[in-house]
Structure 1
């Protein structure tokens, strides 16, 4: 239409103009033929691109194109000289505009494609962007959209541009993936605006033009490119940047682009699969498997559209995740060229070898809660005799050596440099508040596919985690278990621990987390192995036996625990001496088992010895000394010396609060013990006050199902019962009983303790029949597990006697009373 208009307006030069047009037509035909050859479907796309890029005469061809364009432009200028009314700029724009589509000069220029036809959600980010880009701000406005590849950054930017294009005088899209593409994009602006033919010309024009132009730097993912060099240095204009590099936040306001909201993700999946909302429930399961990642959702929708089988996709995905996330459908809703896995591979290929290795190792851990101290603690591994030696840990030690200073100390700066490199591609994220790293679950799964030797990497990270756990002080193991248990679960520690030789270290962490059966599986295997390899007298075997005894004690198998602990104490005393910390530790565990068996006098004797030795060796304020003091206090309480118990417990609580803080598990243990002493002294209000605090803090810190939390809940219930609040007491006791039964089993002493407390509450409420049923069960199981002479068994007998009397079952009560007298007489004789 423009050509026709110009011919009519300039008839006197029509002949020359016709010749020029024929030349232009011939040139365009040659360009079109070249493009058609590139898109020739008879060859694979990769092969066609490879041939095109690898062509030896490509530079000559480009030069030829440039020369022809320049020749045509020169002829146009000659025509302009003949007829000064000829509009050269208009014709120039026609020839070089993208896809040869002419934009009338009176309108803004926008070379951005539209957003996806099925764009969904992101309203929070879009609203923030609309608010940010206010006209006449008096300064240059820069907005950064950053996040993982495939999260939808470009689509958000295109959606914003389409909805607000009227606010900008010109809109320019720049491919910011490389220096060359940025320079090319800026050159195109200069040529397009007829202000020159270089990137500098474009920047000068943007700086001088006081309009609300918008530059869109898309895919600015290379952290080595200083993007500021390509910003017009002026106080006007607008810039949008999409990047995987969160470091670009430094340029202005920003929004992290992560996973979609549930509702938006479901809608996107339904639309990409061309399905009705009536099938939403099935699509919800698919969407959850894809962790709300937009690109993965679109790929899944395309597959479901072809297969027409929603349920079948889930089955296929669980077995073929890598393949399904690597394939792109032929039909698409936008111009994005990459699949989920290929877009991450592009970033991964840019990582240094050390950064890539760290990411791959982390792919075996849980995808969240990864911390620097997991690795720094491993670097401090002291090679204890019961755990793997240096010769067995060459690969993990070699990995850690990259983060060590000249004298072997941990180099936190070096670790930060490596993690920052991974963060710059959003393959890992960091929470400054918790000091924890996390990996998107799909990236987490994908990164394992980048491994050449998966078994070797799995063994390496298992060793690193075992080395780290081995260096955690005893008083910090409960807190450490909260951080590390998910990683142990991800590693399948039963197998990993065996293969790496860190079963003993892993088992100890399981004990701290209250997972006693898992700990037993690991430590029994380790103990058997050490007996065969080292013999009964070796320190490694004794350490394994020590930990196995501790495990049996937690499982309520006190007699088996005592048998092992006696052996360990005797052999450690012989090998290490009476004053060695290992000997003291064995003595303390044996004392605790005596206490659980009801032999409080023997427990006190051993505990006093441990306290004296630790005070002399470690000092009065050492955590291990305070642990021993707390144990002595509990035994005083069991022996009804409540005043002495209270005195010691107040000291322990004060020192632990000062040393470890109010919320530390060891501090809460001291507070709970003091509450129990107050309870036994009859000061129920004071006991309740402390128990409420302990329960609240343990629930928040350890979770509702942790054994220590359940102990606090049971103690509070018992106090409620004494204060006459039977309904509240029963409610808590029923909860504790249910959870302890599932966690520990019906016959565990701790389960029977809360069952007995529930029976007492039922008795006080007047529900004697319910109390009798519970009392009978408790007595039968305690006689079987603990024996007739245990104090808890005798207590169960006395409770049942009271219940029999309340039910007028006097004969049964008398028979049981006779049995109690016989047991007490035998105890006096002993």
Structure 2
């Protein structure tokens, strides 16, 4: 019976299923071999004379030799197959099976090549910084085991980076052992093979004990240690010498490492070289430009670049690839061209699917919901705030739409029905264990690689259901964010709201109100107006003109008109709101006082200062009486009245109120809160008008620095403070400082406003021109406060 030929025929005919077929064949053969061996062993136990006669009759020696020969050839074939699986790069396409060779057989005589690492791919490029870090680490004298971890997303190139390091430093190590760490079975097989190679015995423990006892500098490479359920530490030799190198998608293995490196996106120059090399294209300046656009679109992910290169090599479509990719992204990242690089055997999408399939249902759902948000800066707050939302459905349709999001959020609610951050952490840690998401501890937010982000949506059977669910969750979160936290929250949530609304999002009227509110706080006033108009129209039709929801929508739209400078439209709405609030709720109701304060602010900007003062005084008195001196609404009313005093020319009274507001805001909200910074900026303007320029400068510098850090360089409050400080510098004759700020301000205003606000841009250019004339010795060094007024919030 030609056993080896049968096995080889089976292997060649079953392609990718060879591992399973081979295991089955070996199990069948094991039974046959065990039966024959048992008979031979019984024969050997008989008295010598009988054994000799038996041998002469049945020629046992020749049978035993044949059995032994078949056994060795089976083991050699198995070793070659294991090697094929072991060198597979980080993609889990082939896994070495656990093959049941009888434990009473002599040690397996496999070839020495099983312990040697294959060379890196011939198209390997880059990773110099990581390689230098690895060389430096392993060359140190630590007095302990050298353990280094390469971690990152599947397809980033961890294994190939490792093989390149081994190639560059192989002479430094007495032995190099490569162990496929995909499963417990492959680890056990790999360690047993080392034992067999070194004639140590037949168990994994034999290998570990030998490594522990050897003073030489061996390298043990654990490749593809991606399964977070495996306790990898138990397979480390118990000693204070030797070297261990681990590749894994799981950043949690850093706990074992003396050093580690994240293998992430490639440097652009390396990525361009890799694409052109893998595509077989000439490295010309024109091709470099095209390739740079392609690798940027692929977010510099190694495996995606190689896959694109293989497609381009087959099709010759370097200049057309981006157009094809835009229309066929999922197909191009899922399918492997027939002629591809053997070192990169799997595709981007199949690589991630393996990790995704191992996630629990809550982890899968969370990642799928995240795929509709912006890929960066995803805070836990979205979900924790949403969990406190009290549903207010207007009918069975709305109630059904909230069912799925509320059901998902319930997974993270403790027995007391409060948000369970620990449960949320455990689910996100599960996703992080495969490097499908990253966590920024400083910003306390998560990010998803852009390609993983878009790929995740391909795992959905009902994308619209998930899209509607996350729209509801974000809307629920915005609804429950306290007013004093809305400014900061708007900075965090704005990219996610944009992704949801501009990603063909159908936002229901209830949540249109919330999204419009966030746009208002983010100073995206045209976006806010569009949503608020839709809400007001819906509420008038369904709820009626006098319903509290309709009046709230009317007041919100009026506030947006106010910020847009459409003061007459704001006044018309606010007069109606105040009249109805007084009639329905009474004079002292908080909503009535809010309407009164808003109308007072509009009168102030319209120049109707007496009306503004009368309403402002009433609002402040009532809020002090009802809410107390330190309530945020009381401080808001105080600031509004101070603004009116300022415009009336009563600067002393304005300054006194503003000092109180700033002191209390610092105490209640903290030094860095946006409302505190607004109060500080307003006081700086009053100091300026009073001629207290040093005090104005000191406050102005602090305000601008903090607003840049907290709100960003382009936020309207930051730009307002920039203009005010520039004017203060000019008046103090600090012309270079003033010029620097004006030039920056002009560029940012142009970028933000375009050509729609020529008056605003002309005013800035006038200021800049005056400063530049003064810098160059013009006699007309007019103090800016005599011809231009600073801007208050």
TM-score range, shorter chain: 0.7 to 0.9
Distance 1:209 1:218 in 2: 22
Deviates most, 60-69 or 542-551? 60-69
Distance 1:732 1:236 in 2: 59
Cα 1:675–1:593, aligned 2, differ >3 Å: closer, same or farther? same
Q: Residue 132 of structure 1: SS of its match in structure 2?
A: helix
Q: Aligned residue pairs: how many?
A: 728
1:246 is aligned, of 233, 245, 251, to: 251
What is the 5 A alignment of 1:196-211?
196-211=201-216
Q: Is the 8 A contact 1:549 1:564 kept in 2?
A: yes
1:557-596 superposed matches below 5 A: 557-596=566-605
> Who is 1:371 aligned against?
379
CA 617–98 in structure 1, closer or farther in 2 if over 3 Å, else same: same
Instruction: Output the TM-score relative to the length of structure 2.
Output: 0.84
CA contact (8 A) 2:389 2:480 kept: yes
Which residue of 15, 23, 27 maps to 1:59? Answer: 27
Task: Report if the CA contact (8 A) 1:497-1:506 is conserved.
Answer: no
Q: For 2:361, which of 353, 357, 362 is the aligned residue?
A: 353
Question: What CA deviation, in whole Å up to 9, does each residue of 1:9-46 have, x standing for no partner?
Answer: xxxxxxxxxxxxxx9xx65545443433334xxxxx4x
Q: For 2:754 and 2:738, how far apart are their aligned partners in 1?
A: 22
Partner of 2:779: none
Residues in 1 aligned to 2:30 and 2:143: alpha-carbon distance in whole angstroms: 42
| Inter-partner Cα distance in structure 2 for 1:196 and 1:205 | 10
Instruction: Supply the distance in 1 between the matched residues of 2:319 and 2:248 (Cα, whole angstroms).
Output: 35
CA distance in 1, matches of 2:685, 2:73: 92
- Do structure 1's residue 635 and structure 2's residue 640 form an aligned pair? no
Change (3 A) 1:533 1:194: same
Query: Cα distance, 1:689 vs. partner?
Result: 2.9
SS at match of 1:481: helix
- After superposition, where does 1:456-467 map in structure 2 within 5 Å? 456-467=465-476
The alpha carbon displacement at 1:344 in A equals: 0.4
Aligned 8 A contact 2:156 2:303 in 1: yes
1:217 Cα offset (Å) = 1.2
1: CA distance between counterparts of 2:773 and 2:433? 67
Matched, 1:261 2:267: yes
Q: Distance in 1 between matches of 2:264 and 2:766?
A: 52
Q: Partner residue of 1:331?
A: 339
Retained in 1: the 8 A contact 2:368–2:456?
Answer: yes
Higher gyration radius (CA): 1
Q: Measure the CA separation in 1 of the matches of 2:339 and 2:756.
A: 62
Q: CA deviation at 1:138?
A: 4.2
- Contact 2:501–2:507 (CA<8 Å) still a contact in 1? no
Kindly indicate whether the alpha-carbon contact (under 8 Å) linking 2:310 and 2:341 is maintained by their aligned counterparts in 1: no
Q: Does 1:703 find its partner at 2:708?
A: no
Deviations 1:431-473 (A, max 9, x none): 1111110000000000011111100100100010011111122
Pair 1:192 & 2:197 matched: yes
Q: Partner of 2:306 in structure 1?
A: 298
Residues 649, 238 of structure 1: CA spacing in aligned structure 2 closer, same or farther, 3 A cutoff? same
Superposed CA RMSD = 3.6
Change (3 A) 1:529 1:136: closer
CA displacement at 1:422 relative to structure 2: 0.6
Q: CA deviation at 1:730?
A: 6.5
Q: Which runs of 5+ in 2 are unaligned?
A: 45-54, 56-60, 66-71, 84-108, 775-784, 789-793
Helix, strand or coil for the counterpart of 1:320? Answer: helix
Cα deviation 1:786-814 (Å, max 9, x = unaligned): xxxxxxxxxx9x979xxxxxxxxxxxxxx
- Considering Cα pairs closer than 8 Å and 6+ residues apart, tell me whether 1 or 2 has the greater RCO: 2
Alignment match of 1:282 (pick from 259, 280, 290) = 290
Unaligned runs of 5+ in 1: 1-22, 40-44, 83-89, 768-795, 801-830
Cα distance in 2, alignment partners of residues 316 and 285 from structure 1: 13
Query: Does the C-alpha gap of structure 1 residues 168 and 551 become closer, same or farther in structure 2, counting only changes over 3 Å?
Result: same
How has the CA–CA distance of structure 1 residues 469 and 386 changed in structure 2, closer, same or farther, with 3 Å as cutoff? farther
- Within a 5 Å distance, the mapping from 1:231-242 to structure 2 comes to 231-242=236-247
Report the equivalent of 1:652: 661
Deviation, structure 1 residue 330: 3.1
Question: What residue in structure 2 maps to residue 526 of structure 1?
Answer: 535
Contact kept? 1:93, 1:192, Cα under 8 Å: no
Q: How many angstroms apart in 2 are the aligned matches of 1:739 and 1:682?
A: 29
Q: Deviations over 1:629-676 (max 9, x none)?
A: 111111111111111111111121222223333332111111111111
Alignment match, 1:811: none
SS of the residue 2:177 aligns to: strand
Residues 180-204 of structure 1: CA distance to partner in whole angstroms, max 9, x if unpaired? 1111112212222222222233223
Distance of aligned partners of 1:498 and 1:36 in 2 relative to their CA distance in 1, 3 Å threshold: closer
